[in-house]
Amino acid sequence: MALTKTNFMRGMQCPKMLWLDRHKPSLMIIPPEIQARLDAGNEFGDRAMGMFGPYEEMTVYRPGTTIPDKKAMLANTEDALSRGVEVICEAAFCNYNNYCAADILRKTETGYDLYEVKDAREVSPQHIKDAGFQYYIISRCKLKIGKIFIVIHGQDQDNPFVPVEVTRQAKGYYRWINDHIWDLNRRQKEPEEIEVEPGDQCLHPYQCWYYEYCHEK
C-alpha cells in the first residue's frame, strides 16, 4: 500500500515522522497515556458501529495477528456494496494503492453517507481532515458520498453518539489532499533519512512518537 489516512496525516504533521514509520518503526515510543487514549478510542468506535442498528463489519485480520488483511477487506467491501448493505462498518477502499477504511457508511437513496467516529467531546480541524481524506479516496473509487459526519462522544450514556455534519468542510479538503498525497508518497520512499529541525510540529497537533529520538539527535 502507498498511504493510509494515518500515514497521510502523520506525514502532513512532519514528513520525517512518515519516513521513520516506514524505515525505523522500532524507534517509536508511545507514551502510556497516549496508548490508553488510543485503546479507548478503538473501544468507542467498536460500540458506535451499532448506532444505526444491524450492520456488517468488513474487518479481516491476517492469520494469527491483529494486522488488517486489506486485500480481504477490499473484497468484502465490494461484495457488501454490490448487495446494497444498509450499514457497512470499516468499509475498505483503495485508489492507486492509497487506502482508507471508513468507520461507518450508511446507505441513502443516491449513495452513502460517511461517518467518522472520534472519542472526543468536540470536533477538531484534524477530525475533519481525517474525514476529508476518506472522502478523497472513496470518491475516486466512484462511490457517491452524500453527507459527511463526525461522530463525537455525547454527554451521557443515554446519548453516547452525537453526529456532527461537516460535509462542506470535509469535501473542501479534496484539492489540498490531492496537492500533497503524491509528494508524501515519494518522500516516504527516499533512501536517506529526511532531516527536519525539531519545532512546533513535534507536539502539534499531536506529540510525535519519535520525540525522544529527534531531540536526542
Full-model pTM:
0.94
The string of pLDDT tens digits covering residues 62-78 is 999 989 999 999 999 99
How confident is the model at residue 106, as a pLDDT?
98
Which CATH number is 135's domain given?
3.90.320
Task: Report the phi/psi class of residue 84: left, alpha or beta, with left for phi > 0 and alpha for psi in -120 to 50.
Answer: left
State pLDDT tens for residues 15-57: 999 999 999 999 999 989 989 999 999 999 999 999 999 999 9
* Contact assessment for residue 102 and residue 90, using Cβ atoms and an 8 Å cutoff: yes
What is the average pLDDT value for the chain, to the nearest integer? 95
Beta bridge partners of 88: 56, 105
Distance CA 136, CA 64 (A): 32
Q: Domain range holding 114?
A: 5-216
pLDDT tens-digit readout, 106-150: 999 999 999 999 999 999 999 999 999 999 999 999 999 999 999
The domain total for the chain is: 1
User: CA 31 to CA 37: how far, in whole Å?
Assistant: 10
